[in-house]
């Protein structure tokens, strides 16, 4: 079977329909949809970030009245396209606040990503809702635009649908990009609203880069996502911008939206250096 993704012919017959296959309760095999744009053997950080978020959501003893308010990732090294084991532990279990740590270790390797999640007790309709962030054009009003050229046919760039309300991958500066997963996070399982946000949230620097990809390398060793509300539909918007210092440090930040309005923020610290 052949699917058309972003104008490319991609043979999908052997591909599980998901970013990951569940092997055991805590073990997952990444598919080619996780492949990032820079290294054919490494994942884009979005899917494994979402996998750690899912582990926090689905851990044994998780309370239904607690909602993730902040999750911070330390990206310790590139995440390989190899079977992964996810572990979680509760650092604090309070009545209104919980802190949970989640870790990702590839088969035969060292820890590659660690997340610390802050969860807060949610009491529906207990206070007035206030959200004053600016509205952004919706996905239906935003044209589809391709990812920047990637040297392989299947990867994160084919598993995500992308529409730009402003900017693009191919022009420097701030951008407003809507993203939607074409595939479930885990094959055969329903994708949670949190997973949709986290799969997209690591793309902030990518959509709003200020410098030429061909001349400079951009690495984000961390990612922090704050949410005051979870998305109500499939599309997640990154209203993004990047700032760069001449010493090679930068920060990429985005206001996160769904079609109803703002839902939170995503921030990446950046290491930037000339290529070669």
Handedness of CA 50, 112, 210, 242 (dihedral sign): positive
If you count them, how many residues does the chain have?
276
Please give the mean pLDDT across all residues of the chain.
93
pLDDT tens digit sequence for 197-232:
999 999 999 999 999 988 999 999 999 999 999 889
pLDDT at 8 over 70: no
pLDDT at 14: 54
Q: How confident is the model at residue 272 (pLDDT cuts 50, 70, 90)?
A: very high
pLDDT tens digit sequence for 92-127:
999 999 999 999 999 999 999 999 999 999 999 899
User: Which CATH code fits 2-124+139-274?
Assistant: 2.40.160.210
Q: How confident is the model at residue 15 (pLDDT cuts 50, 70, 90)?
A: low
For residue 215, what are its two tokens?
């001349």
**Distance separating alpha carbons of residues 53 and 72, to the nearest angstrom:** 10
**Distance separating alpha carbons of residues 142 and 136, to the nearest angstrom:** 10
Q: How confident is the model at residue 196 (pLDDT cuts 50, 70, 90)?
A: very high
Q: How confident is the model at residue 90 (pLDDT cuts 50, 70, 90)?
A: very high
**Distance separating alpha carbons of residues 189 and 13, to the nearest angstrom:** 19
Q: Tell me how far apart the terminal alpha carbons of the chain are, to the nearest angstrom.
A: 40
Handedness of CA 1, 158, 225, 92 (dihedral sign): positive
Q: Which helix (H) or strand (E) holds 161?
A: strand 160-168
pLDDT at 9: 41
The helix-helix angle for 193-201 and 46-58 (nearest 10°) equals 150
The structure's pTM equals 0.92
pLDDT at 68 over 90: yes
């Amino acid at each position: 079977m052949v699917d058309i993704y972003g104008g490319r012919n991609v043979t999908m017959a052997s591909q599980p329909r998901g970013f990951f296959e569940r092997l055991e309760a805590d073990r997952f095999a990444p598919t080619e949809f996780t492949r990032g744009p820079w290294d054919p053997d490494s994942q884009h950080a979005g899917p494994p970030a979402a996998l750690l978020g899912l582990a926090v959501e689905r851990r044994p003893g998780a309370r239904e009245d607690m909602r993730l308010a902040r999750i911070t990732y330390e990206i310790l090294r590139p995440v390989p396209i190899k079977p992964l084991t996810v572990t979680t532990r509760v650092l604090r279990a309070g009545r209104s606040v919980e802190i949970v740590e989640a870790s990702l270790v590839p088969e035969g390797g060292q820890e590659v990503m660690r997340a610390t999640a802050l969860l807060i007790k949610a009491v529906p309709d207990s206070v007035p809702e206030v959200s004053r962030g600016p509205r952004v054009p919706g996905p239906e009003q935003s044209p589809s635009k391709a990812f920047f050229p990637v040297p392989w046919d299947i990867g994160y760039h084919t598993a995500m649908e992308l529409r730009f309300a402003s900017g693009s991958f191919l022009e420097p500066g701030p951008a407003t990009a809507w993203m939607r997963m074409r595939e479930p996070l885990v094959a055969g399982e329903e994708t949670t609203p949190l997973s949709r946000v986290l799969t997209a949230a690591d793309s902030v620097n990518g959509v709003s880069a200020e410098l030429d990809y061909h001349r400079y390398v951009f690495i984000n060793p961390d990612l922090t996502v704050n949410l005051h509300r979870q998305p109500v539909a499939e599309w997640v918007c990154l209203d993004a911008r990047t700032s760069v210092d001449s010493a090679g440090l930068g920060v990429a930040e985005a206001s996160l939206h769904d079609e109803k309005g703002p839902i939170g923020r995503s921030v990446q610290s950046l290491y930037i250096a000339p290529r070669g």
